[in-house]
Amino acid sequence: MRYLEITVPEGRRQAVLNILEDEAIEYVVSDETSGRGYTAVVRFPLPTRAVEPVLDRLRQAGVSDDAQVVVIDAETVISEEFTTLRDQYSQGGQRGARTSRQVLRTKAEEFTPPVSIYLIMLLISAVVATSGLLADSPAVVVGSMVIAPLLGPALAASIGIVTGDDALKATGFRYQAVGVGIVVAASIGLATLARLAGLEPAGVDIVVATELEERVSPNLFSIAVALGAGVAGILSLTRGFSEAIVGVMIAAALIPPAAAVGITAAWGMYGAALGASVLVAVNLLSINLAALATLWIAGYRPQGLFEVSPTRGPTYRYAAVFGVALLVLAAPLAGITLLDFQTTQLESTAEDDVERVLAEPEYDGLEAAGVEVELDGDYPFQSVERITVTITGPEPGPEPGLADRLHAELGPDDGLLLEVQYVVAEERGPEE
């Protein structure tokens, strides 16, 4: 529920009262005697769902920029007339709590911190994320997400588009671009220092770390995180869900990939940096597109089918730009996803083939300790380079003819290597 206070400009008093009477809204009106061009102050409670349509009607009646409107949360209203009004604005018999367009804009502004605080918090987040990725520590990486103030900036642009607030839209896009740039730059600086200090030896393939590898070679499933973050972000603002948790989800889609760009660039692994950059761009587009679509579906748009609105055209254009760009950038991710499926299938088939060969009588006593399909490390578009088979047995050294037999059974393609490793399996007694 909301409690509204409207300071009515001269010449608009009767128009305001007529609208409130037509909506069957209980109100209190008092004269305004400050001499600043206002004639009255009108106060009245409203169901949350009624705020936006009532304010839209008042705007159409000419009560817009000249009036002062204050919207306050109300704990409860005890009134038979208010109960009737609340039921009138309920949908499907349910009393929802859809935030009005006007309040939504204010929330987006509140969650967008001042520039100085925003930059400082992002710098701290970048340092923590870079440290977590280099140390391959999931807990530290999660910590970097918690402190990143990305909820407001990530959603402000879409809210500005659908509400026609050009300043809010520009602020949202600017904060997003600057935020990603700050994280990348800070990560490059910290990773360069770590490399020069010998904390991570130069020339080592650092992307073998799990926390880093999944960011430099992303697949289509990565988009799901960003799309979910965009939808959840809007729902948190419009339906009162936990903004803190959703902010972490948005940061999860942006902070670690941006830090991965900086780390791989500092190591001169520009292919891996390109893969992480694509992931950052895809996630930014996904968050904005999902937020825009959720706002539109939630009803933050003109209600009439043929109603002309200044926000309808821009909303369609931005949605088209986001969608087309996302499809273009998602194409490489589709290739990586296909490679993941092929690698998994190849590994499964190879395991079956190895087990079948070792089941033959001449290889009695030998067992397969593992079958691994290795990629060539040419990020971001890798390819299968070799199949490594680890064999355990009682005797040291290779088993004569086994490598050729495995090669014939697995039948690797041209250019695909088969490597067979032998490990001695030794049992020790309790006293040894």
pLDDT tens by residue, 251-271:
888 999 999 999 989 988 888
Distance CA 424, CA 432 (A): 17
Which position has the higher pLDDT, 293 or 212? 293
Q: What average pLDDT does range 346-363 have in this prediction?
A: 86
> What share of the chain has pLDDT > 90, as a percent?
16
Nearest in space to 71 (alpha carbons), one of 8, 25, 24, 6: 6
Query: What is the phi/psi pair of residue 367, to 5°?
Result: -135, 155
Do 223 and 261 belong together in one domain? yes
Tell whether the model's pLDDT for residue 238 goes beyond 80: no
Count Cα atoms within 13 angstroms, Cβ side, for 401.
5
Distance CA 298, CA 159 (A): 12
pLDDT at 428: 52
pLDDT at 413: 63
Tell whether the model's pLDDT for residue 121 goes beyond 90: yes
pLDDT at 301: 60
Q: What average pLDDT does range 333-355 have in this prediction?
A: 86
Asked, for residue 321, whether it belongs to a domain, the answer is: no
Categorize the per-residue pLDDT at 308 as very low, low, confident or very high, splitting at 50, 70 and 90: very low
pLDDT at 304: 41
Asked, for residue 308, whether it belongs to a domain, the answer is: no
pLDDT at 309: 61
Q: How many domains does the chain have?
A: 3
Buried b / exposed e along 176-209 (16+ C-beta atoms within 10 A): beebbebbbbbbbbbbeebbeeeebeeeeebbeb
* Element containing residue 253 per DSSP (H, E): helix 243-266
Do 208 and 117 belong together in one domain? yes
- Chosen domain end from 98, 127, 148: 98
Do 290 and 378 belong together in one domain? no
- Give me the domain span that covers residue 11: 2-98
Asked, for residue 307, whether it belongs to a domain, the answer is: no
Asked, for residue 429, whether it belongs to a domain, the answer is: no
> Which CATH number do you get for residue 53?
3.30.70.120
pTM, full prediction: 0.74
- Chosen domain end from 251, 271, 300: 300
Do 63 and 113 belong together in one domain? no
Do 371 and 415 belong together in one domain? yes
The answer to whether 98 and 238 are in contact (CB under 8 A) is yes
Eight-state DSSP code of residue 206: G
- Chosen domain end from 98, 131, 147: 98
Do 69 and 121 belong together in one domain? no
Do 110 and 182 belong together in one domain? yes
Do 247 and 132 belong together in one domain? yes
Categorize the per-residue pLDDT at 320 as very low, low, confident or very high, splitting at 50, 70 and 90: very high
pLDDT at 258: 93
Tell whether the model's pLDDT for residue 174 goes beyond 80: yes
Of the listed ranges 120-129, 303-312, 392-401, the least confidently predicted one is 303-312
Do 82 and 129 belong together in one domain? no
Q: What average pLDDT does range 128-145 have in this prediction?
A: 88
Categorize the per-residue pLDDT at 125 as very low, low, confident or very high, splitting at 50, 70 and 90: very high
The per-residue pLDDT of the chain, averaged, comes to: 81
Asked, for residue 61, whether it belongs to a domain, the answer is: yes
Asked, for residue 221, whether it belongs to a domain, the answer is: yes
Count of C-beta atoms within a 10 Å radius of residue 403:
16
Which position has the higher pLDDT, 310 or 340? 340
Do 146 and 214 belong together in one domain? yes
Do 235 and 278 belong together in one domain? yes
The pLDDT tens digits for 62-81 are 776 667 788 887 777 777 77
Categorize the per-residue pLDDT at 234 as very low, low, confident or very high, splitting at 50, 70 and 90: confident
Tell whether the model's pLDDT for residue 181 goes beyond 90: yes
